[in-house]
Each structure stands twice: as structure tokens, then as C-alpha cells.
Amino acid sequence: MAYTELVKNFNRIRDYMREFYIYGFKSRDEYTKKSARSYDDERRRLASWLGEYMQFRQTTEGKNVFLSIDSRMLHHNPLYKAWKTKSFTDGDITLHFILMDIFATGEALTVSDISERIDDYLAAFAKPRLFDESTIRKKLKEYVGEGLLEKKKQGKTMYYRKAPDLAFYDTDVLDFFSEIAPCGVIGSFLLDKRKRQKENFAFKHHYITGAIDSEIVSQLFQAMHENRMVCMRVVNRKENVSEIKVLPLQIFISVQNGRQYVMAYEQKHKRISSFRIDNIVKITPGNTSDRLEELRGQLEKMKSHMWGVSTQSRSGMRMETVTFTIRYGYGEQHIHQRLEREKRCGHVEKIDDHTSRFYAEVYDASELIPWIRTFLCRITEIHFSNAVLEAQFRRDIENMYRLYEV
């Protein structure tokens, strides 16, 4: 098939966008999931959308292609461009503009009226394209579902007319939420219809990769809205694919790296678990459930023992505890304040003017390790109920000392 800049299925380039932006260390020969021809086509597509961010590095294994984006310097997520490149057929685009022109008057029309007016438009062409009534009905149904048109039955006849234009939010509101909210690409589409103005926002922690998973996230939100089970097609680290039936409950987003998770009730194991959204390949809607509010209540109670997204202990214990004590000097009260601010489900006790103790009882204490390491130079005592985890933590410290010859 000939190369085209547009794509019909976003999943076709989703993996490549992730590989080029997040990893970016593979040469052409190392992309083995698809053919070398597919790699060349997807690379060309990305270059046409994001060419200003594409870079190359020559290595002994070959030329590595990667996306280099400093998210701190961006006002708008450039990855949204990929969502604005959906392909269409000649018939789709022709029928779209004819219908929009017909409905521009605001008049309510029947399918018969619409068909006649389409024929009038096409009669001006030497070799007109023909649209049967079935095709027109399908397009009208699609546009009603998308909110472009509205329908109303009068007697036995259905009438269609253009839906009223939506009132736009303030541009500053769209600017902000299109960058920090899940499915922010929706705000980006709305901004495209507004006149650009001065940029008023810059983001310190601008996690732009969530844009790649917007379709999956929107499908999960839709399932929650409808109290609906879904079948998730999930790929693991070894690239094995499995199908898991769940009831989605809530979306969690990491404040450390922007990674998105869905908290969901697993039907097979009868438990609430977390799933990385970037590992979900496909969502298939299932039957509705009457347990959404009940299970959300369970999840809310579980949060008192969740540091991150883990809902069960790796050690086999029901709960794991971690306790550490830190010392700080004069003029460093901000250290205690930081503990209070970042404690989440933990507890902080002030021992004296220069000593504080942190304690937490959680499902998985290993989730605290990255955060605990930020206090290393101040920790005077630390203990984990999980002996294996504590031994690993101490080994890591010893290895670091050796590395830096301390």
C-alpha cells in the first residue's frame, strides 16, 4: 500500500510514538514487531507531524531515530498533532462538506429533502459521485451521535438540523486544562477553533506522554459513565498479550512521572487491582454492572493503605510497615513541613525541634523507596516489616557508597 501521511487507526503509530519519545535508542534493524517497510512509513509519518522534534544519533548498530522534546519549554503538547491526522475517503470528505453546507441555513430537513439537495450539488460535476439513501442515513446517524446534528420526529417523519454551536470556555481555561487533564486533546481541538492569544501558562511538570493513551482513557471513562464491564487486551514486559475482564473504577495519575493507571475490579480474581494504561492495547465494552458504587466505596477505604497503586503486598503479608527517623538542623523546619505535606497515607510525629519520625502501614512498602531516598542524608534510623525489602534497601546504600568511594 502506498505511503500516506494520514492514518485510519491510531494504534498503528501509538507504539512508535512511545518508542521514539520515551526510549529512542533503537536502530531500524531492532524494530522487529513489524516489517522494515512499516518502520520506514511510520517514521516518515512522525517526521511529517513532529519534524522539528525529530533527531538522529549514529551508533555502531545503526542510526537511532528519536523525539527530543523539552516539555518544560512547551505551552502546548505537540503529541496532540497525531490525533489530527485521521484518514478519510473521497466519499467521506465530499459528503461531509455537502451536508455542512446544506445544514448551514439552520433549516430542518427530512432524509428525502437531504438526498435531493445532495443530488443537486453533485449534478454540477461531469462524473458525479453517487450516495444512496442508506449511506446518507448512516452519516446522519453518525453526526447526531457526534453532536453535529440533532433530530426530531414530527408525526412519522424524522427531521434533521444543525445542532447549536457550543459556548466555548475562556481560552485561558482551555489552555490550562488541555495540558493537565486526561484526554486534554479535546481541549486542543477546541483551541484550534479559537484565535490564538498570549500564552499565560508554563508547566514545571508537563507530562505530555499521556496524550498517546487518550483513546484508551476516554473508553475507560465511557465505561465508568455507563457502569459497564470491559475486556482489556493487555501486553506485559515480555510482550505476551492477555485479555482481562474488569469493571473500571477510577483513573490514577502518578505525580512523579505522569504514568496513568486504571483501578479496576478483576472479575476472575474478585479483587481490585491496578493496570498501567500504556500497556492496554484495546478496550472492548461488555455488560453493565450494578456494583460500581459499591466497589468504588471499597477502593476509597483501601486508599488509607495505598502509597501508590498497589493493592496487595509482594511479601504475602496483609500489610507492610515502614518507619524512619530524620534529623535536621537550625533553620531547616521546612524538612518537617515537607514530611507533613508529602506523607499521603502515612503519619508524621515531631520528636523535638530537630527530629521527626514517619510511619506508614501500606499494602506495598516498596512503593515508598524512591521517596524515602530523597531523605537519605538525614535518616538516622529506618525499619521495614518486610525483611527482604529492608535488606535490599541497605544493599543499595552500600553499593552506592562503594560506587562513590564513600
For 192-229, the pLDDT digits (tens) are 888 777 888 888 888 899 999 999 999 999 999 999 99
- Residue 361's domain is classified under what CATH number? 3.30.70.1150
**Over the stretch 263-298, which tens digit does the pLDDT of each residue have?**
999 999 999 999 999 999 999 999 999 999 999 999
Q: Is 150 exposed, middle or buried (0-12, 13-18, 19+ CB in 10 A)?
A: middle
Say if residues 19 and 31 touch (Cβ distance below 8 Å).
yes
- Residue 49, domain CATH: 1.10.10
**Per residue in 84-99, pLDDT tens?**
888 888 888 999 999 9
Residue 311 lies in a domain: no
Question: What does the pLDDT read at residue 2?
Answer: 55
Same-domain pairing of 281 and 327:
no
Q: Write down which residue in 292, 307, 333 finishes a domain.
A: 292
Q: Are residues 341 and 373 in the same domain?
A: yes
Q: Tell me what pLDDT residue 270 has.
A: 93
| pLDDT above 80 (res 400) | yes
Strand pairing partners for 315?
Answer: none
Residue range 169-186: mean pLDDT, rounded: 88
Mean pLDDT to the nearest integer, 379-389: 95
* Choice among 206-210, 352-356, 369-373 with the minimum mean pLDDT: 206-210
pLDDT greater than 90 at residue 23: no
Domain that holds residue 253: 209-292
CATH number at residue 123: 1.10.10.10
In the chain, the number of structural domains is 5
Burial bucket for residue 11 (CB in 10 Å: 0-12, 13-18, 19+):
exposed
Name, in order, each residue with C-beta under 8 angstroms of 247's C-beta and a sequence gap of 6 or more: 223, 228, 229, 230, 264, 265, 267, 289, 291, 292, 295
Same domain, 287 and 225: yes
- Is 350 a member of any domain? yes
3-class secondary-structure state, position 60: coil
1: pLDDT strictly greater than 70: no
Q: Looking at the domain assignment, is residue 360 inside a domain?
A: yes
Strand partners, 277: none
pLDDT of res. 374: 95
Q: In this structure, what C-alpha cell is assigned to residue 13?
A: 503509530
Domain end: 206, 229, 262, which one? 206
Q: Which residue has the higher pLDDT, 353 or 24?
A: 353
> What is the mean pLDDT of the segment spanning 360-365?
96
- Is 325 inside any structural domain? yes
Q: What is the mean pLDDT of the chain?
A: 89
Which pLDDT does position 130 carry in this prediction?
Answer: 85
Same domain flag for 274 and 215: yes
In angstroms, how far is the first alpha carbon of the chain from the final one? 60
Q: What percent of the chain has pLDDT over 70?
A: 99
